[in-house]
Structures are given as C-alpha cells and as structure tokens.
Chain A
Amino acid sequence: MATLSTAFTLPLRSFVLDVSIDVGGTVALVGPSGAGKTSVLGAVAGLVQPSSGRIALDADAWFDSAQGLFLQPDERRVGLVFQEYALFPHMNVRENVAFGGKNRADEYLERFRISHLAGARPTELSGGERQRVALARALARDPGVLLLDEPLSALDANTRAAVRGELQELLREFDLPTLLVTHDFEDAAALAERVSVIVDGRLRQSGTASELVAMPADAFVASFTGANLLHGVAEPSANGSTRVHLDDGTVVTTADAAGGAVTLAVYPWDITVGMAPPSDSAMNVIGGPVRSVAEFGNRVRVAIGPVTAEITGESLTRIGLRPGAVAYASFKATGTRVVAEADR
C-alpha cells in the first residue's frame, strides 16, 4: 500500500496547526472539536494551503513549500468524504457518483448497493444511504488516498453501529491509505489501526487504540480515550446474560444481549485491581501479569491481560502493585457495554 506522508504547519485563527503523520493503513485523527482535525484533511486535499511543510503520496508531492509547489484539489488524487456528506442537491444519486468518475458510476452504484436509488435526490435518502453515495462518489474518482471527515456523526445511534460495520468492511476492501477524523474514540478504535490524538493543533499521542488506553501520554488523552474496547464473539447464555469469547481466549460476561462478532466497552475506572481473586459480585475476573503501569497525577493505569484499569496512586501503594507481578482485574457484567456488532 502507498504511504501518505504529511508534515506541515498551518496558522489557524486561534493556534498554529503543526502536524506530522504518515498514513499507511487507516489512521484516525481524534480530538475535541476545534482541535484542527478537519483542517488537516483540508490541507491534504488542497482546500487550504499550509504555510510550510510537505504533503506527498509516496514520491508524488502535492505540496512542498521548499519547492513552492501547491497542487489544486482537482490535481491531487484524494477522495474526501465530507461531514454531512456534501452531496450535490441538484443532481440525483447517479449524477453525483458520475461526477467523480463517469465511466465507473454504474459499477460503483452496484458495488455500494445503491443502484435502486440511482434516480433519487439526496434529500430523499436516509443518513446511511447518503453516506454510501458520498463514499461511492469519492471512490469513483479513483483516489490514491481516502479522507473521511466525521463519517458517522451525521447518523443516529441506531444506524451508527451498522454503518460502522459496513465502513470497516469497506476500508478493508479498498485498502487505501485512509485518514479519518472523528471526535469519538470508539469509532476511531473500531475503524483505524492507529489513532492520533490532536489537541489545539498539535499531536499529543499516536499509537494503537489499546496502547492509548493503556499508556495515555497525559490526563487529556486518558479521559479522551475512555473505554477499553474488547473484541470477541458473543454467545447468548440461558440466564439472559451474554458470554463473549475474546480474541485472546479470555471469556467475559456482559449484561447486554448480543450475538456474533462484537466489541465490548469497559471503562478503566469501573475495573478493580487486587493481588488475589476477589470474592464479590463481579462476574468478570481476569488474572495475569501486570503488563504496564502508567502514572499521571494521582491516577494510575494498570494493564492486565486485555484490559486496562484506572486506580488511584494511593491504591497502587496500598496493594503494592508492580509490573510483571500477577494481579487480578475484576469488573461487573453490568459495567460492560456492547458498542459494535459486525458480521464476520
């Protein structure tokens, strides 16, 4: 796969955007609103011109301040899916897709299962359908890079999980360097291989989602990353709760009903850590060596097996926890949430 390399500075109204990201697979750019996430996409697409730096797809430079090079958006091979999708209201679905690639319109209508909507206007479509049209249009342009701006934020909670699953599949299928912007850490973790946290125009931390949860660089990343995300296969049990077989073999019980491939969310502050297995109401007990201990302020993140717990510095000293020592993380079945389901 090609690599999109971006390193540039771009002065914005209240701060200077200064980022450097290499995008191989799918990278999610997460952060609070106003952090400069969308401007990164704008700079890659050529909609705004950075003051300095370089943006290139492999050897193909699109922007290089040293050479005075700035290609127009139509001269870059980018597929940008806008927040709210920005479909042309005066064109029907087919015309929208054909705008990106005339010869590929029918193929992409078929591929995105929107052939039956070819004659419809964007206003007649549901949120999920609009997203498919926007993706088909962007990909019909035959881009070298896919840019997604808050691809799920325009959707209601019900369609969101389903569309997230579709998007996951799609990203695998097209296999393009993809930069995706979201303010939702769960979406980022579900869709991207790597996550970069951006605050006030600067990258705070980059890594895999579980690295970020386990070893947040600072308190902001810690609160922003929020939940542990556990992937596994759900199997309903007789008493109404669901048993989820995680990818690493651990079995976790959740109070939510689910089946098939699922993602579970557990908040680090809902997980208790002890040196011995507890004998309380917690349904889930995971034992193993402590993988890492990360302190920031009075909060400590302790990674055991597939989960990370957040405890106070005081508790850490009281129980005498050390990396490598065997400890037990426990949490209640009601402390877990099924956040995504996808067919495998």
Chain B
Amino acid sequence: MSWRRALTRGVLAALYFLAIVVTMAFLVLPVVAIFAHVPLGRLLRQLSNPIVTDALIVSFKTVAISQVVILLFGTPTAYFLASRRFRGRPLLVTFVELPIVLPPAVAGIGLIVAFGRFGLLGSTFDFLGIDVSFNQTAVVLAITFVSGPFYVRQAIASFDAVDRRLIAASRTLGAGPTRTFFKVTLPLARGGLTAGEAISLARGLGEFGATIMFAGSLQGVTQTLPLAVYETFEAQNGLDVALAISAVLVIVSLAILLALKGSGLWERSRPAVTAIAQPEAN
C-alpha cells in the first residue's frame, strides 16, 4: 500500500518539475537561439546593412509619432472615461479595448476600408490632401490603432484609481478643474500612465499584421523592423539580417521591460483597488 503511494507521489513530483522545465525552456530557447545561431560578430556586421538602418529609421520615426498621437488624444479620452459615469460608457470602453484582442490582419483590413483611397473616409482624406496609401502616415495609423488601446486602457485604470477625495479636496481648496487635473490627478496617475505608455511603445514597435496590410513593406518608406525581419528572412541568404534585426528588437523589448520593473511600475500596472468614497457614500 505505502509503496504504491510513494510511487504515485514520485510520479506526480516528476510531472510537476517536468512541466516547469518544459515551460521555461520553451519560452527561453527561441530568444537565446536568436543570439546563438550565428556568431555575434556576424550579427553586429549586419547592423550596417542598409535594410537594417532604413528599417530602424522608419520604425523609430513612426513609433515616436504614434506615441505622441496616442498621448495627446488618448490621455483626455482616458480621463473622460475614468471620471464620468454615463449610459453607454461600458460600450465606449469596450470599443477602446477591442483592438487589443482583434487579430492585426483584421485591423489592417478595417483601416483599408475606413481610411484607404476607396474607404469610408478616403474621399474626405483626398479632399484634405491627406494621402494614406502605402506611406508613413499609413504606418503611423496602423501602429496607433493597434498599440494605442494598450495605453488608453491602462490610463483609464490609473485615473480611476486616484482617490476621489483628493480631487474633491483640491476643488474645495480653491483649485479649478484644470489646476486640479495638472496638480493632483495627473501626478497621482503618472506611474500607471508611464507603465501603459511603455507597454504601448513595445507593442507599437512590434506591430506587423496591420502595417503590412495597410501600409505595405517598402524599404525606407513603410518597412518597419518587424516587416524587415519577415522580408529578409524570405530573401536569399537573408537569415543573418533577420537575426540581427530580431536581436535588436529583443534587446529593446527587454530594456523596456527591465526599465518598467526597475521603476516599480510593472506591479502597479494592474488597476489598483482603491476605496472610492463619494460624498454620498457617507
């Protein structure tokens, strides 16, 4: 009897550790392999390849612009959705969150039929002189659409977590809504906003599906780093280049993650549960 129990226990323990080892190996190996596949010197030499430098410039430019757009438009929207309770608010929040779970290819198609030449707003854009066919504006739109919701969602949670009583205190101390926002609400939500910004940045840098459908993959114009990985991998003898770009992306992603952890914002990125005392709660 007892030897059978010992055996069961031994098998369970073995399966337990096996699951852990398999999980870790599965997640770590592809990342390590990128650096291990070819010697480091060969990787570094590829960084001066024009495909790589062009993609770096396109990526950093489009991601930077889309981050500015996301901050300028997303922050007021998030504040509005966090500070007001009204009918239809859950629906609006769901629309904000939808691109997070939407397949990027679907986002790409959606962008084409909305803003493309023959899309819903195509003629309006034409009239305004805005051209979004296969240029960097299209890349920025794709990245903004896919990565913006990561910021807005986190920003809603961060604004929502600010103690309502502190906002009320600011108002009774003579500060109007604007001063209250910049002196109290924004500083208190800043940690969460930064975390959301960083996640959005990482997601924007890796954007692939929507960009390739909506903006194409023209070197030096719309070819971002992830697109360049795909293109060079398809090309003859392009594996070294694909690996070099991948290595750059791994390092940048890791840097963003470590910076978040180092600043203590990673843990706080979850919406904080704060007692919200409305005046009528008494």
Contact = CB atoms under 8 A, between A and B. Distances in A.
Contacts of B174: 74, 100, 141
Interface residues of B, number: 21
A219 interface: no
Given A80-B169, A89-B188, A48 B279 contact: yes
A99 B171 contact: no
Contacts of A88: 166, 169-170, 184
Interface in B235-282: 277, 279-282
A37 interface: yes
A184 to B, nearest CB: 15
B163 interface: yes
Given A82-B168, A86-B166, A89-B188, A100 B282 contact: no
Interface string A143-182: 0000000000000000000000000000000000000000
Contacts of B175: 74, 99
B173 A99 contact: yes
A73 B279 contact: no
A37 B187 CA distance: 31
A42 B167 CA distance: 13
B172 A36 contact: no
A283 interface: no
B37 interface: no
Contacts of B61: none
B100 to A, nearest CB: 30
B279 A38 contact: yes
B282 A35 contact: yes
A90 to B, nearest CB: 5
Residue from A34, A48, A72, A80 with most neighbouring chain B CB atoms (10 Å): A80
B173 A141 contact: yes
Interface residues of A, number: 34
A137 interface: yes
Contacts of B163: 86
A37 B280 CA distance: 9
Contact of B168 (A86, A89, A137): A86
Given A39-B282, A89-B188, A99-B183, A45 B166 contact: no
A76 B168 CA distance: 13
B172 A90 contact: no
Interface in B115-158: none
Contacts, number: 75
Interface in A85-101: 86, 88-90, 99-100
Interface in B158-194: 163, 165-166, 168-176, 183-184, 187-188
B172 A99 contact: no
B183 A45 contact: no
A223 interface: no
B282 A72 contact: no
A73 B166 contact: no
A90 B169 CA distance: 14
Contacts of B279: 38-39, 41-42, 47-48
Contacts of B187: 90
A84 B132 CA distance: 54
Contact of B282 (A38, A47, A73, A86): A38
A82 B169 contact: yes
Interface string A55-92: 00000000000000000111010111011101011100
A33 interface: yes
A39 B280 CA distance: 5
Contacts of A38: 279-282
B171 A72 contact: yes
Contacts of A83: 277
A42 B165 CA distance: 11
A12 B280 contact: yes
B173 A33 contact: no
Given A38-B279, A99-B175, A86 B188 contact: no
Contacts of B172: 45-47, 73-74, 76, 78-80, 138, 141
A344 interface: no
Given A86-B168, A88-B169, A33 B282 contact: yes
Interface in B1-47: none
Interface string B203-243: 00000000000000000000000000000000000000000
A90 B171 contact: no
A119 to B, nearest CB: 18
A13 interface: yes
B48 to A, nearest CB: 46
Contacts of B170: 88, 99
A166 to B, nearest CB: 21
A90 B191 CA distance: 12
13 contacts: A35-B282, A38-B282, A39-B282, A47-B171, A48-B279, A72-B171, A74-B173, A78-B172, A83-B277, A86-B168, A90-B188, A100-B174, A141-B172
Closest 10 CB pairs of A and B: A42-B279, A73-B171, A86-B169, A86-B165, A80-B172, A38-B282, A100-B173, A73-B172, A47-B279, A90-B187
Given A83-B277, A89-B166, 6 more contacts: A12-B282, A36-B282, A72-B171, A73-B172, A88-B169, A99-B170
